[in-house]
Every structure is written in structure tokens, then in C-alpha cells.
Structure 1
């Protein structure tokens, strides 16, 4: 009997706790209405939002927040904002509604797009150089006249120092077989190398390629591509996000989302910093996207679809991947996974 009574008490306690929990999940009295039910806005357009107040509750004030910008309204409660300096991509418009000593927080998803379609560029080949056909290229970068390469696949991943004119591998460091190596970037006499799904990156000495450290990922999903502008490191993770990392701590501080005039894009792989822009391979696409690092706008695409036909055709031939910019000549060098050539190209606008 005591056991039976105890069981009843436990059940009643659970029911009371559940009821109390439901009471705490109070239904919101307000919602955000965007004029004309528009959810996508292009640069230069104005987002207009108001409150739906079905119960006609007397409102004291409303604080709207879009990104880092907060707007306090004490009458009308109609939010207006021109989309100009905001980063492109997905955003949350938040309204904190103050009334009768209470506050309701309500949100609305919106997307900001570029107002110009990406330009389409072509190319011409300046020179061709030999490349290791067994290299599953994941990262490519020049430092002075020396080419550095990261190759992928578990058991085949490596970091290499290469004479690009002859294809000779001067130094090769194997990556432990449990890792699938990805993109690289060079900064402050160090090489930073990503791994794909291990949530870990490696740091190497530039001269010797000896490993001198590790770094962990934070919010980013995976490791795909890296580049740097001399002050910050940019990291792609396969999603629409390109993360901006602190150059000293490698912490992920913020991100941009790559966006055209129609939609938010994803799957950006190898990255390269070129004259103030991010150049990016798109996985399984034989082209290079040119991205504005300030707001994420995809400004142009270099069509390299015919380039794969110019290398030796074999069973393991894979997609274009690998961009290196030679600053002294202002030329791009590109290759692909298991390609036997590296191409020096000039962009034709």
C-alpha cells in the first residue's frame, strides 16, 4: 500500500510540474508583419515591418533589432530600414515589445540579396606546368616563388613544398591516416591546414613543414577551404558561411554568407585571397566564384568548364580544385583533383 501511495504521489508531482511548465510557455500577444509579406530584399530596397496586435494591448515601446543595429520606437511602431551596409544572407528581425510591465520577444526571418547578377568571365591559358596526377588537391598557395599544396583522402593526405615549374616535390609531410586534409593558407611564416570532418586543424613551420601546433574548430560545421588577407583568416565549411577567424587565436569571430541576386549559395571549397576579393572553387563545379568579403556578394564567376578536357583523362580524374595567386605576376594558377597539369591563366572579362 505504501508503495502504491508513493507511486500516486510521484505521478501527481510529475503532472503538476508539467502543467507549471506549460504555463511558463506563455503564448505571445504579438507578431511581426512585413509589408506585402516580403521575405527577400535586395541591396537598396527598404524593409518595412509592423506589429500585429490582435488584442489591442496598449504598448509602451518597441525595440527592433536587425544585426547589431537597434531601433527604439515609442509610437506607430513601424520599422523601416534601407538595406545598404548590411551583410547579405539570412537574418533575423527581432522586436522586443514592452507593455504593462511585460516584454514579448518576437522574430521574423528575412534574407538580403545582392542587387546585381554575377558577371561571367572566361580565361586564356598563359602556360602549363606538370602536376602529380596522384595528388588529390585540396589547397594551393604561393609564398614568393614556391608553391605549397595540401592533398586529401585518408591515408593519402599530405602537405607539400613544390617547384611549380618542374612539378618536383621538394618536401612532403604525411598527414596521419585518420585525417582527411583540406585547404591551407600561409600567414606569419606559418602554414595552416584544415581537416574535413575531424574538427581540427594543423599548424606547420613554413620553412621545414614540421608540425608545430593544432587548432580546434568552434561553430563551423566542417573544414573545406582557407585564405587570408594579411590580418584575418577566412574559412569555408561547406555551408553558405565563410567564417572570419582571429589570426592569432584561430577563433571564429563572425561570418559572411555568399549570396547572388537570387539566392544564398553554398559548397565553397578551396579559397584564395586575390586583390581584395575571395576567389573560391565550388565543389563539383568547374568554375571560380569571386566574392566580396565585406558583405558576401558573389560578384562574378570564371567559367573554367573546358579546362578539365586539357588534362590526361583517367578513371580517378576529379573536379577542379586548387587556386593559387602569384602576386608578382598577378596571375592565377589552377589545377584539380588528380590532374596532371597546373594551368597559369589570365582572366578574360
Structure 2
């Protein structure tokens, strides 16, 4: 059964929504199994499979996952001292961040063989890309644009509301139709960000999604966004969630 949750534009002050920004609700299109042992940090869709980065000390991994069954097809464990974070796919290379180690890794997509590692000056949280740059978050209100060849930061932007209020706790990222979608850490919302200005163009309210799956006793916060540009499909999940959800967004009227 499809679940439809309609959210109004008012009554969201307690969630940090501001009246000048549209709020979108969602409809569940399809529910897929997801490994509840996965502490999801990064999620990418490509050619019928998901690539997933998971965290926790001593448990962090890089995975290739069958979309329809949730079965882990390929697993690469990180060194125990590394805490896995965001993940993106640039051409045929997977780029994975770690949290406090300030180290990232570039792998060959097909066999997960390590091509090289790189460093950055902040914590690593989420990563995605547009046509020209890798885009990285570190849990602050900043997004960093990296050269995809050198992996060196070129510039950064501040994420903010139309009233210039900084938006912090930017986590997992996904580039969708010219916008950056960002999970906001510890909340049930995703920010839709203009990549040129850093302004938040809309909020996606996913309240109730965690309750739409079996209670496994360990499901944690929402985290994980993947997009299929070819078929315009959007998936979301969370840390230790038993399900992955394909959703469509229900647009709201401008405030």
C-alpha cells in the first residue's frame, strides 16, 4: 500500500523550518529490503545496484548491494581505525570519505581495488558531485568543491536560508536535477540547496518514514540518499534501517 503523508507549510517552527521556504512531503512508491546491520553513511545508485558506505569503528565498509533483495554482493572492510562516511561515484571510480581521520579513498568501481588515497583539512561527512566538481560536507554549514582529478579543494560555499540563517549539520549528499540534497544530521528532513548560492530552496519532511518499517530495535537516524537520473527515481534510508524506500516528492505551494 502506498503511504501518503501531506505536510502543510505551517506548524513546522519546532523543526526549524522557516516560512519563506517551501516544504515538500513524500509518497512511498516501493519498499526494498535493507541490511539492518549497515550503519549507512553514503549511498549511490548505478546500473541496477547500490553502492553503500557504512560507518562505526571496526565495522566500516564499502558495499555493492542488490537493489531488489538488499543482498550484499561485494564487501570491502575498512581498517578498524577508520570510520567510514560519505560515498560518491565519479565515472568508474568510487570515492569514499572517513570521519575524523581526514582521509579519503578512491577505488575502482568494478572490483573495489584501491587506486589512491587523499587527505582533506576537515572531518569527512557526505560527498556527491555535479558535472565539474566533487562536493563534500563536514557537518558544518559549509560545502566544499573539490577538483575530481587532484581532489584538492577549489572553493566553498555557506548553506543558508533566504534570510541568511546558516544551516548546519549537513551530512549525506546527493546531486539531484541541479540541486544538492543534504540530510540534516539527527533530523527527519532533507535540505534542497542551490549549488551556486548555497541558499536552501526547499525542505523535504520525511517525518514518519522510520515508522513505516518493522521495528528492529536498533534503527537510528535518517541517512542515505540515492538518485537514478535515467529513470528519475529517488531512494532514502537510515542507519540500521531494515528498509530502503523509493519515494516521490509531493510539491507544496510557495509560501
Q: TM-score, normalised by structure 1?
A: 0.65
Q: Alpha-carbon deviation of 1:261?
A: 2.7
Alpha-carbon distance in structure 1 between the residues aligned to 2:146 and 2:20: 28
Larger helix fraction of residues: 1
Flag the structure with more relative contact order, 1 or 2, with Cα contacts below 8 A and sequence separation at least 6. 2
Q: How does 1:307-326 map to 2 (within 5 A)?
A: 307-326=209-228
- The equivalent of 1:255 in structure 2 is 156
Report the Cα offset of residue 230 of structure 1.
Answer: 2.7
Q: Do residues 123 (structure 1) and 23 (structure 2) align? A: no
Alignment of 1:196-207 (within 5 A): 196-207=99-110
Distance in 2 (alpha carbons) for counterparts of 1:292 and 1:147: 26
- Deviation of the 1:188 alpha carbon: 2.4
Do the aligned residues in 2 keep the contact of 1:117 with 1:299 (CA within 8 Å)? no
Cα deviations by residue, 1:32-83 (Å, 9 ceiling, x for unpaired): xxxxxxxxxxxxxxxxxxxxxxxxxxxxxxxxxxxxxxxxxxxxxxxxxxxx
Contact 2:216 2:242 in 1 (8 A): no
What are the equivalent positions in structure 2 for 1:131-210 lying under 5 Å apart?
131-210=34-113
Highest Rg: 1 or 2? Answer: 1
* Partners of 1:201 and 1:147 in 2: CA distance: 20
Number of residue equivalences: 233
The residue that corresponds to 1:240 in the other structure is 141
Give 1:339 shift.
0.2
How far apart are residue 288 of structure 1 and its match?
1.0
SS at match of 1:309: helix
Distance 1:285 1:175 in 2: 27
Distance 2:115 2:134 in 1: 18
The unaligned stretches of length 5 or more in structure 1 are: 1-115
For 1:1-349, list aligned pairs within 5 A: 117-218=20-121, 221-262=122-163, 263-349=165-251
Q: Which portions of structure 1, spanning 4 or more consecutive aligned residues, are displaced by more than 6 angstroms?
A: none
SS at match of 1:285: coil
Preserved CA contact (<8 Å) 1:187 1:230: no
Deviation at 1:311, TM superposition (A): 1.7
Q: TM-score, normalization: structure 2?
A: 0.89
Offset from partner CA, 1:264-287 (integer Å, 9 cap, x none): 111110000001100010000111
